[in-house]
Amino acid sequence: MDEDLQISIDKLPIKRLDAIEESGSERFPSDVGYDEKRLNLIRRIDFGWAVEREDPSKKQKSEGTTSAKESTTTNQQPWQWQSLVENLQLAHQELSVIIDLINTVEANDAVTVAGMTRPKQLPNELLSDLAVSTATKLQCFRHLGKYFKQSATALEKQVAREARFYGALIRLQQNWKVKRHRLVAAASGNEGFYIDLFYNSLHDTSSSLRPSSMSTIPIEHDTAGMLAVNLPPNSCRSLQFEFLGSHSANNMRRSGETKMQALSEDSSRETIKEHANDDECVRETHSLLREVHRAIFDEQVFELVSREACNSSLSVNLTGIQENYLRLSINQGASVSISLLLSSQDNKTTGAGTNHSETETVPSELSDVSKFGEGKDNVKKLGLPNRISFEIYLQQLFHEYVFVKVKNKTTSSVRSQITGQQSKDNLNILDHFCMSLAHRIFSNKVLSELENLVCRTPYVQLISHPTWHSRTSSWTLSMKVPQSILHAGCQIQSSGNSNVKNVRSQFWTKVVVIDESISVEGEGNPNIVGLFNGKPESNCPINRYECDLADLPIILLQHVASQVIQWLHEEALTVGIKVNRDFLSLAFELDHGEIASLVAHVDPEDTRGCISWWLTMDDGLTEDHKLHPDLSIGESESRKYLGHLSLDVLYSTLLDFVNLCSF
Amino acid sequence: MNKGGAGLGGGAGGGSGGGPTAAAAAAAAQKQKTLLQRVDNDIGNLVDNFGFLVNVARVNDPPVRNSQEAFMMDMRAARMVQAADSLLKLVSELKQTAIFSGFASLNDHVDQRTEEFNKLAEKTNGTLARIGEEAVASLKDLESHYYSSALRTSNPPEP
């Protein structure tokens, strides 16, 4: 064992291990050369399809045999997508080859892909690609076309909406003040237009009125784009004047109130009738604005009335005040109410009940005062005039005297009426109005008395003289001698009577009422001095004096009776009868010294006639014949009741005395 | 454009009251220039974008470029619509300016209407006076007829 140990090392072969068994033996692949390896890899690529394509003849023959077989067996038509499927399969095969090649190249680091060139496309492939691109672009343009159409339609609608809106707004601007609130426009997105209805022409700061809540009306768009003016419900109030104690049956409110209901329905009209609706819409907006303008005016009038009512006055007494309600007591025992009523949408009926539903602020004790039928009687009894006429008069007074005076520097007719009627400089309009109202009530009473008298005195006529003054009324009681008597008088004159006929044919008594004072003017009453001197016929001037309503009937009857006496006296003188005239009696001197007197008796309460006549006989020895006989004693031997005689009968009676009297 | 200019000039005149001052005239001219500039820009946008749309109608080979052009077409169309909307707003502004500008014609119209209403008021007053006179005459006739009628003379007096 002394020999050297020799170790020989063999190089281990670097080989990939194919497999290793459980026993530990290893298996290595067989040694393959580089070229052989390359060939093996190339062989992995299947070029069978290329071989088959290069030999199409073989393929057709084989197909011909198969097709013949198929045609003999089945007569089915080829599926239309068969060629597409085959092309896709071929493309799939090509792709799988390429993918295999790429994987192989990736697995083998020695080979890399230098580049890939797209195969040159065939013309049909080029055209098909072009067609796809063209179709895609065409689709894009069609999409754009739809977009442009929609945008154009929307813009046209917007243009039409704005044209309607601004056209209507410009038309409204012709009559109303259009303003713009830029802050509102910026905040709300709306244009911020509004209409300013406030008109304060009162430059005097003490009389300036506060602007109403409805002075600014915003202009909005409705669903159709047209301008719309929307007011909150129950925002407009109207002035109402009413007599307390009488219910006004005619409850016709202003017709414009119903228009406000229809205006809210304008926005739902169809676009087909746009042009007609535009004009109607503008017209109705005008009407609505006019109604609001009127409501503002009524509010201002009410405020002015309230201010003047709170000032102490002799002609008007404020007896009740509430929100939007005033109760005034004027002379002649009448009470009136001035209120602002809401324009209710439920006011569809006119009648007794409607007024109560409208009036919110009238106290319940006043609303239950009278009903429809009773109201009419009360109107007649109290002599109340038409309330609507005075409602209009109140508005006209304030409009002319307050709102127009700034423009009209010269005094208006109302002002001249006021200043002419009253000497006070501080007479306000409400005073004038209440005095006019009191005068009207009073004059109605006077007229009823006059008609009552004239109705029961056939030979007296009532002639009205309209003065066109709100606090002055005038009538004339005219007594005309009948034509038959005038003709008879002419005949007597023509028969040779030396006395000149100087008898008038008409007597008049004028009644003038100024405010609440009555003045009676007329001829007929003899001169008092002449009465004492025994010569009443010397002078009968026109007398004028004042009286009150209670004494008016008796005074007028006395006037008329004295005029009849005067006429009879003149007629008697004409025919030559010796007569003496007293206040209401005419004394005839008879042949034997007896005195027959024709005495007038006036009684306003006599339903058969106001003037009756008595015949009294006197022997002429006593002095009582000049005094009025006591007719209340009744008939007696010296006193005979003649009754209610007409002028013809009186004239006949006079002529009967011709034979009895001494000349 | 001319109407807008006239409206602006009227607005300047109305705004200054007695007459267009230099500052008001300069402001009006500047505003007019601004509006014209806006109009030009909008019209230019419309024309340019439409030109782009027409130019891009050519079909290109790469499909990717077609997609890019489709997106650009959408963008150009949106810009065109935006320009049209801007023009519409400009028209609205001009109308609003016209409402608060032409005070001369408005004042003339108001004066004309005032004159018409005054005439109408005078006519109404005349009509009322005539009605009153006719009523007086009718009342007088009726009274005379009534009091001379047989109805009154024959019937016994009634309260």
Q: DSSP secondary structure string, A480-523?
A: E--HHHHHHHHHHHHTT--S-----SEEEEEEEEETTEEEEEES
Per-residue pLDDT at A632 exceeds 60: no
Distance CA B35, CA B42 (A): 11
- Cβ of residue B61 closer than 8 Å to a chain A Cβ: yes
Q: What is the pLDDT of residue A208?
A: 60
Q: What is the pLDDT of residue B90?
A: 94
Nearest-Cα distance to chain B for A57, in Å, is 37
Q: What is the pLDDT of residue B138?
A: 94
Q: What are phi and psi of A609, to 5 degrees?
A: 170, 145
User: For residues A556 and A405, which has the higher predicted lDDT (pLDDT)?
Assistant: A556
DSSP string, A307-353: HHHHS--SSEEEEEEETTEEEEEEGGG-EEEEEEEE--TT----SHH
ipTM for the predicted complex comes to: 0.75
Nearest-Cα distance to chain B for A588, in Å, is 30
- Cβ of residue A169 closer than 8 Å to a chain B Cβ: yes
Per-residue pLDDT at A245 exceeds 60: yes
User: In sequence order, what are the residues at sequence separation of 6 or more whose Cβ sits closer than 8 angstroms to the Cβ of residue A294?
Assistant: A238, A254, A256
pLDDT in tens, A264-283: 444 444 444 555 678 888 89
pLDDT category, A49, cuts 50, 70, 90? low
Answer whether A137 sits within 8 Å of B66, measured CB to CB.
Answer: yes
Which chain B residues touch A191 with a CB distance below 8 Å? Answer: 96
Note whether A147 and A171 are within 8 A (CB).
no
Q: What is the pLDDT of residue A275?
A: 57
Neighbouring C-beta atoms of residue A465, cutoff 10 Å: 15
User: For residues B138 and A129, which has the higher predicted lDDT (pLDDT)?
Assistant: B138
Which chain B residues touch A181 with a CB distance below 8 Å? Answer: none
Residue A189 tokens read as 């997105």
Share of chain A above pLDDT 90, in %: 10
- Which residue in B106, B89, B94, B104 sits closest to B1, CA to CA? B94
Distance CA B13, CA B10 (A): 5
- Which residue in A523, A518, A517 sits closest to A504, CA to CA? A523
Mutate to test the interface with A, among B58, B68, B73 (most CBs of A within 10 A): B73
Q: What are phi and psi of A293, to 5 degrees?
A: -60, -45
Domain ranges of chain B: 22-102, 103-152
- Cβ of residue B124 closer than 8 Å to a chain A Cβ: no
First to last CA, chain B: 85
Angle between helices A552-575 and A429-455 (to 10 degrees): 50
Residue B104 tokens read as 């001369």
- Which residue in A200, A202, A197 sits closest to A175, CA to CA? A197
pLDDT category, A207, cuts 50, 70, 90? low
Q: How much is the average pLDDT of A456-463?
A: 89
Neighbouring C-beta atoms of residue A116, cutoff 10 Å: 8
Neighbouring C-beta atoms of residue A218, cutoff 10 Å: 16
pLDDT category, A145, cuts 50, 70, 90? very high
β-pair partners for A480? A506
Q: Which of A104-108, A144-148, A334-338 has the lowest mean pLDDT?
A: A104-108
Per-residue pLDDT at A487 exceeds 50: yes
What value does the mean pLDDT of chain A take? 75
Q: What is the pLDDT of residue A608?
A: 83
Residue A559 tokens read as 């006037």
Q: How much is the average pLDDT of A598-603?
A: 89
- Cβ of residue B104 closer than 8 Å to a chain A Cβ: no
pLDDT category, A533, cuts 50, 70, 90? low
Per-residue pLDDT at B135 exceeds 90: yes
User: In sequence order, what are the residues at sequence separation of 6 or more whose Cβ sits closer than 8 angstroms to the Cβ of residue A281?
Assistant: A168, A226, A227, A266
Per-residue pLDDT at A317 exceeds 60: yes
Per-residue pLDDT at B40 exceeds 90: yes
Q: What is the pLDDT of residue A92?
A: 92
User: For residues A266 and A529, which has the higher predicted lDDT (pLDDT)?
Assistant: A529
Q: Which of A354-363, A578-587, A619-628, B112-121 has the lowest mean pLDDT?
A: A354-363
Residue A596 tokens read as 């027959």
B84: nearest CB among A155, A458, A464: A155
B57: nearest CB among A137, A162, A452: A137
Q: How much is the average pLDDT of B9-31?
A: 68
Neighbour-count burial of A554, counting CB atoms closer than 10 A to its CB (0-12 exposed, 13-18 middle, 19+ buried): middle
Which chain B residues touch A155 with a CB distance below 8 Å? Answer: 81, 84-85, 88
> Of chain A residues 31-60, which have a CB less than 8 A from chain B?
none
Per-residue pLDDT at A513 exceeds 80: yes
Answer whether A144 sits within 8 Å of B73, measured CB to CB.
Answer: yes
Q: Which of A49-58, A365-374, A565-574, A641-650 has the lowest mean pLDDT?
A: A365-374
Which chain B residues touch A477 with a CB distance below 8 Å? Answer: none
Answer whether B159 sits within 8 Å of A456, measured CB to CB.
Answer: yes
Distance CA A97, CA A86 (A): 17
pLDDT in tens, A391-450: 999 888 888 877 776 556 444 455 555 545 443 334 578 888 888 998 999 999 999 999
Answer whether B99 sits within 8 Å of A169, measured CB to CB.
Answer: yes
Per-residue pLDDT at A470 exceeds 70: yes
Q: How much is the average pLDDT of A202-215?
A: 61
Count how many Cα atoms sit within 13 Å of the Cα of residue A649 in the half-sphere of its side chain.
Answer: 10
User: For residues B89 and A655, which has the higher predicted lDDT (pLDDT)?
Assistant: B89
Which chain A residues touch B96 with a CB distance below 8 Å? Answer: 166, 180, 191
The amino acid at A13: P
CA-to-CA separations, B33 to A3, B92, B94, in angstroms, rounded: 121, 17, 13
Residue A309 tokens read as 């009512």
Classify residue A313 by its DSSP letter.
-
Neighbour-count burial of A409, counting CB atoms closer than 10 A to its CB (0-12 exposed, 13-18 middle, 19+ buried): exposed
Answer whether A462 sits within 8 Å of B147, measured CB to CB.
Answer: yes
Distance CA A286, CA A277 (A): 14
Neighbour-count burial of A586, counting CB atoms closer than 10 A to its CB (0-12 exposed, 13-18 middle, 19+ buried): buried
- Cβ of residue A234 closer than 8 Å to a chain B Cβ: no
Classify residue A126 by its DSSP letter.
H
User: For residues A274 and A587, which has the higher predicted lDDT (pLDDT)?
Assistant: A587
β-pair partners for A477? A462, A509
Per-residue pLDDT at A623 exceeds 90: no
A461: nearest CB among B135, B136, B147: B147
Q: What is the pLDDT of residue B30?
A: 93
Q: Give the residue from chain A lying closest to B57, CA to CA.
A: A137
Q: How much is the average pLDDT of A24-47?
A: 73
Per-residue pLDDT at A556 exceeds 70: yes
Q: What is the pLDDT of residue B127?
A: 96
Q: Which of A139-148, A165-174, A494-503, B99-108 has the lowest mean pLDDT?
A: A494-503
Total residue length of chain B: 159
Distance CA A403, CA A199 (A): 9
Per-residue pLDDT at A613 exceeds 70: yes
CA-to-CA separations, A572 to A538, A541, A567, in angstroms, rounded: 15, 20, 8
Answer whether B139 sits within 8 Å of A173, measured CB to CB.
Answer: no
Order across the sheet with A316-322: list the strands: A237-243, A335-342, A325-330, A316-322
pLDDT category, A102, cuts 50, 70, 90? confident
pLDDT in tens, A334-384: 888 888 888 753 343 333 333 333 333 334 343 444 444 455 555 555 667
Answer whether B88 sits within 8 Å of A458, measured CB to CB.
Answer: no
Q: What is the pLDDT of residue A264?
A: 44
What value does the mean pLDDT of chain B take? 82
- Cβ of residue B95 closer than 8 Å to a chain A Cβ: yes
Q: What is the pLDDT of residue A652?
A: 87
